[in-house]
Amino acid sequence: MDLDSLKIKGGIALKGRIKSQGAKNAMTKLLVASLISDKKCIFHNVPNIGDVEITVDLCKEIGMEVLWDREKHIMEVQTKELKNLKISQRFSGANRIPILMIGALLGRTNQEIIVPTVGGDDLGSRPLDFHMASLKKLGATLGYREEKEEASYFAKANFGLKGTLITLAYPSVGATENTILAAIRAKGKTIIKNAAIEPEIVDLILFLQKLGANIFIDTDRTIHIEESNKFYEVEHYVIPDRNEITSYALATIATKGRIFIEGAEHLH
């Protein structure tokens, strides 16, 4: 069978019991967020999927040490030091995680960070303008360059980052995440208005609070962040994947079946 297609024989009501996986869109961002500190982080309910594997490989290039028990869905990570600030071009187009590396790493180094162009799904145009505008407002120098048929984004903060008021033109999930990660170690206070507040964003903030970050969500899509420099070891349970759960639910309804999804969070 072609790996790019699935042949499905329908007409059968779905039934049974299934356990939801951890959310890919949460786990990949949590891995990047852990780069902010040099402390050990232990994650539970880690999904065994490609995007997580790619993100692990990305983080290993930076210097992250990873122990992954796939059967128990537990992952232990720690980045004691940054060993490399140029992400390999082999990750170009793999997913959209490389651009988030910039926000996470700017607070740990004043050296130039270089990441390849991003990929991911094709669900609409998702430009990086919002990411760039927010990071520049925090004091970073960013740009795009092409050398020997290799396209990369680069970023640097010679004098460190400084907190400020940032109003996103659109509540972009990625731009909100990148701004949060960069602002954690920025001097002073950062306020992000018109921020995305999806469950994965809330989970990221809860993780950062455990890590030692001074961050909280206010009303009207506003996030407040105070400079943080003292961090702690963290143990965190990844939220269930709402997209996976919704897919199971819709397929069950469509086939007039009956299933039990263990670990689903109805508030998501």
Distance from C-alpha of 183 to C-alpha of 53, rounded to nearest angstrom: 27
3-state secondary structure of 228: coil
Active-site position among 121, 129, 203, 241: 121
Q: Where are the alpha helices (DSSP H) in the chain?
A: 24-33, 50-62, 98-106, 129-137, 173-183, 199-211, 242-254
Helix and strand counts by DSSP (H, E) for the chain: 7, 13
The two structure tokens encoding residue 161: 């980052």
Q: Which residue has the tokens 């990844």?
A: 238
- State the DSSP code for 174: H
220 is catalytic: no
Q: Which amino acid is at 63?
A: G
**Burial degree of 24 (CB within 10 A; 0-12, 13-18, 19+):** buried
Query: Cα–Cα distances in Å, from 79 out to 32, 42, 61, 66?
Result: 10, 12, 11, 9
Q: Which residues are CB-contacts of 169 (< 8 A; sequence separation ≥ 6)?
A: 130, 133, 194
Distance from C-alpha of 165 to C-alpha of 156, rounded to nearest angstrom: 20
Structure-derived torsion over alpha carbons of residues 72, 75, 76, 80, reported in degrees to the nearest 10: 160
Catalytic residue list: 121
